[in-house]
Structure 1
Amino acid sequence: MVTDPSGTVGSSGAAGPAAESAPVRRLLPLIVPALAVGTACALALLGISLLAEGLQEVLWETLPDTFSVGRRSALWTVLVLTATGLVTGLLIRVVPGRAGPDPATTGLVDPPLAAGVVPGLLLVTVLTLAGGISLGPENPVTAANIALAFWLGRRIAPGTPAGLWVPLAAAGTVGALFGTPVAAALILSETLAARPGSGALWDRLFGPLAAGAAGALTMTLLAHPSFDLSLPPYTRPHWADLLSSAVIATAAAALGLLAVCAFPPAHRFFRALRHPVPALTLGGLLLGVLGVLGGRLTLFKGLDEVKELAADPNGWSAGQFAVMAVVKTAALLIAASCGFRGGRIFPAVFVGVALGLCAHALVTPVPVALAVTCAVLGVLLAITRQGWLSLFTAAVLVGDAGVFPVLCVASLPAWLLVTGRQQMQLRADGTPLR
């Protein structure tokens, strides 16, 4: 028996046809819980983001000013990132449930964690975001929201199907992250396509779409997020754009695949240390060294730093953009494999933007908006292995639907390169998923 995200029970019994015959009666009761869960998920994400920003200001502005140390000096960068690893390792050792499972084995949408794990998970997530680690909030915040929605939902409405709360919380969080329910619908449509269930796809997406809309509207009204990089507009496609877009997307996917292939041995190396404290302390030290090599823009999750890069596409040379892309890729690899809790989407976007700006600097006739979106598309395809999410994220960076046809063409060779290969997620025994 399988429960789909709308709460329908699909089986060979009599319940299936009865539910199929009255989809409106089945979908209407989803609206209130979906809106409530979506709003709560957005508030949780906003709260974690504000806490992280406050702690970040203390770590990177207040303390260095107090000790008369340069805010972006090499010494302070290495010190803060190493200390972040040390404290995170100590916290993971003492908090209930060790702040969740090994993040190398988890995806964006997973089964619910025990509710008691959530406080520790969110605590180390705040520290990760504030300390400059190259990971985003999406994975741990989504996991926390799923756990809380499942725990509360089953107690407030014990008669509801177990499969109802997970997609609502996932959609609400993703909608809040991207400021639109479309992202949530696209991600969950890929998930649902691999699962059996009854009813039309839009019936199954009805509740998650409502939750995603509630999350997106809550975040938009309270925080006004924007992914638009304000790049020069992409006017219209040219024949030459088909070749350049395919080359850029494929090259970006190849760089992402290098990180994916290095992920299992990097994870084995850190796991051989047998304790989160030395693993995360060493990881933090290595990230600090990378931060010195790549500069301050290669620190943190990358969303604000991407906007600073895009604000001045000619402010750095092609070599400098390439160094930032490689350093950020290495930082993402280390942060994801040594045990820091965080997501990989936002750092991957930074890598793509830096690569796209590098391509534009090397071949200036290539429109900057096209170069950036195609590079982001390629990196995300390799790192996430989610086609709709990659296309959507790349396109939303320029806010121009005209780039979609060329992006779809560029996605073809990039997808042929990454499909069927190992993913940046491991099984419990350390072997990569495919």
Structure 2
Amino acid sequence: MVQDSEDQAPSVTPSTPARTLLPSIVPAATVGVVSALILVGVEVAADQLQDVLWETVPDALGIGRYSVAWMFVVLVATGIAVGLVVWKVPGHAGPDPATIGLDAPVLPPVVLPGLLLVTALMLAGGPSLGPENPIITVNVGLAVWLGSRLVPRAPGRIWPALAEAATIGALFGTPVAAALAISELLATKETRGMLWDNLFAPLTAAAAGSLTVTLLDHPSFDLGLPSFGRPGWSDLLASVVVTAVGALLAMCAVRALPYVHSAFQRLRHPMLMLPAGGVVLGCLAAVGGHLTLFKGLDEIATLAHDPDGWSAGEFAVMTVVKLAALVVAAACGFRGGRIFPAVFVGTALGLCAHALVSGVHPSVGVSAGVLGVLLAITRQGWISLFVAAVLVAEPTVIALLCVASLPAWLLVTGRPEMQLRKDGTPVR
């Protein structure tokens, strides 16, 4: 029996006509530029305040810039300042940050100024968090609010996607990271056959955001680590082991987050929770040193500049302290993201492996350590691979990381994530 031609033809999802995609270019590019400008504005303001807090004031007082006493003072003062904003400013700087990941909620406009303020205070004051989560949340809220008014016919779901893609592109200085992140989300939907049609507008926003940041700030993630040339069997073994160790170590932090969060929640008030978090972070900074403060991007450049400048024990202490500081800062109520501190943890772990076993090349150790830690903390496979590879900027490392990611993913998949529900239980 001969089947009809329609039955014999393969199932193909029809592509979107160009005339449907073209009108999205201007709104997407606008969201990209505005999102990048907000990111740059917050980081510039935070850098200025950081210089005052950590250079101008201690120099004027004759106190060591990173003395134990001064680190305590600034971290506790940051906790108090952020606590005041969370307590008194309209909107209370948004929901509990432990309940928010990269997929940001849509917040009303009244919340956004307070969230921007606490983000700048956090970045300047030294808690171990990055800008990604709150800036994405602000940009999503602003894009939805303005977009629904200026382009009312556009589907409401497009604005969060544009803002998230634009901010991720601006954070990493390239639209590739945003494309990977958005494609990972879209791959679970029935529309995966139209992947590039769905990516068109977000990728436009990401390109505009990354180009804006590149022109204004000239970001670079290349750490300038020594080149390792052609990888060998020892490099493959090292990458698999270090990635697995990084994933297991980070999973300890993931497991600890609900308990640490619950302990701070018992204090019940932001003016108690955040200053108490500042005290704990001050203790951790006293143990780990000033390199374990802040979001960690400048600090990993310091470590990579002299990979043999610290002992294995010192790298190990920095790894554990930074990871603990990340958990405490996320649990006590500081608004911030977890990707950049996780990169520091992975970098310190990789250099620790190099210090312990000289055969572990620093580039292999760092990229593998970052991959393992990010896989456990973000559960974003493409983003983890991208960040780990871009830090080393060696094409040959990609094959090693792809192999190393497989056993590490088996260690983390299906287990609790570093994000909590409103009732304090971990997301799975």
Query: What TM-score, normalized by structure 2, do the two folds share?
Result: 0.96
Task: Report the secondary structure of 2:385's partner residue.
Answer: helix
Which residue does the alignment assign to 1:200? 194
Which residue does the alignment assign to 2:419? 425
Gapped regions of structure 1 (runs ≥ 5): 1-18
1:102 lines up with 2:96 in the alignment: yes
Which residue does the alignment assign to 1:317? 311
Separation in 2 of the partners of 1:284 and 1:202?
45
Deviation string for 1:323-344 (max 9, x for gaps)?
Answer: 0000000000000011100000
Task: Report the secondary structure of 2:79's partner residue.
Answer: helix
Which residue does the alignment assign to 1:237? 231
1:151 lines up with 2:145 in the alignment: yes
What is the CA-CA distance between 1:111 and the residue it aligns to? 2.9
Deviation string for 1:293-344 (max 9, x for gaps)?
Answer: 1011000000000000000001000100000000000000000011100000
Separation in 1 of the partners of 2:351 and 2:16?
52
Which residue does the alignment assign to 2:58? 64
**Distance of aligned partners of 1:21 and 1:259 in 2 relative to their CA distance in 1, 3 Å threshold:** closer
8 Å contact 1:234–1:402 — kept in the other structure?
no
Match of 2:29 among 35, 40, 47: 35
Match of 2:110 among 111, 116, 126: 116
Which residue does the alignment assign to 1:6? none
Residue type of the partner of 1:432?
Answer: P
8 Å contact 2:273–2:332 — kept in the other structure?
yes
Task: Report the secondary structure of 1:93's partner residue.
Answer: helix
What is the CA-CA distance between 1:110 and the residue it aligns to? 2.0
Separation in 1 of the partners of 2:190 and 2:137?
23
**Distance of aligned partners of 1:198 and 1:70 in 2 relative to their CA distance in 1, 3 Å threshold:** closer
Separation in 2 of the partners of 1:107 and 1:195?
19
**Distance of aligned partners of 1:21 and 1:325 in 2 relative to their CA distance in 1, 3 Å threshold:** closer
Task: Report the secondary structure of 2:392's partner residue.
Answer: coil
Which residue does the alignment assign to 2:263? 269
Separation in 2 of the partners of 1:159 and 1:20?
23
Identity %: 62
Separation in 1 of the partners of 2:41 and 2:266?
35
Task: Report the secondary structure of 1:397's partner residue.
Answer: helix
Which residue does the alignment assign to 2:8? none
Separation in 1 of the partners of 2:189 and 2:142?
23
Q: How does 1:3-402 map to 2 (within 5 A)?
A: 22-197=16-191, 200-402=194-396
What is the CA-CA distance between 1:197 and the residue it aligns to? 3.4
Residue type of the partner of 1:126?
Answer: A
Separation in 2 of the partners of 1:427 and 1:180?
31
What is the CA-CA distance between 1:24 and the residue it aligns to? 1.1
8 Å contact 2:136–2:163 — kept in the other structure?
yes
What is the CA-CA distance between 1:23 and the residue it aligns to? 2.5
Residue type of the partner of 1:39?
Answer: V
Separation in 1 of the partners of 2:87 and 2:308?
46
Separation in 1 of the partners of 2:193 and 2:314?
52
**Distance of aligned partners of 1:21 and 1:319 in 2 relative to their CA distance in 1, 3 Å threshold:** closer
Residue type of the partner of 1:139?
Answer: N
Separation in 2 of the partners of 1:424 and 1:430?
11
What is the CA-CA distance between 1:43 and the residue it aligns to? 0.6
Q: How does 1:397-408 map to 2 (within 5 A)?
A: 397-408=391-402
Which residue does the alignment assign to 2:3? none
What is the CA-CA distance between 1:22 and the residue it aligns to? 4.5
Deviation string for 1:9-64 (max 9, x for gaps)?
Answer: xxxxxxxxxx9565212111111111111011111100000000000011111111
What is the CA-CA distance between 1:68 and the residue it aligns to? 1.4
Deviation string for 1:98-157 (max 9, x for gaps)?
Answer: 100101111112231111100000000000000001000000001000100110000111
What is the CA-CA distance between 1:198 and the residue it aligns to? 7.1
Residue type of the partner of 1:140?
Answer: P
Which residue does the alignment assign to 1:10? none
Which residue does the alignment assign to 1:16? none
RMSD, aligned α-carbons: 1.1
Which residue does the alignment assign to 1:3? none
Residue type of the partner of 1:339?
Answer: G
Separation in 2 of the partners of 1:195 and 1:308?
42
Query: What TM-score, normalized by structure 1, do the two folds share?
Result: 0.94
8 Å contact 1:88–1:340 — kept in the other structure?
yes
8 Å contact 1:59–1:80 — kept in the other structure?
yes
Residue type of the partner of 1:255?
Answer: L
8 Å contact 1:141–1:173 — kept in the other structure?
yes
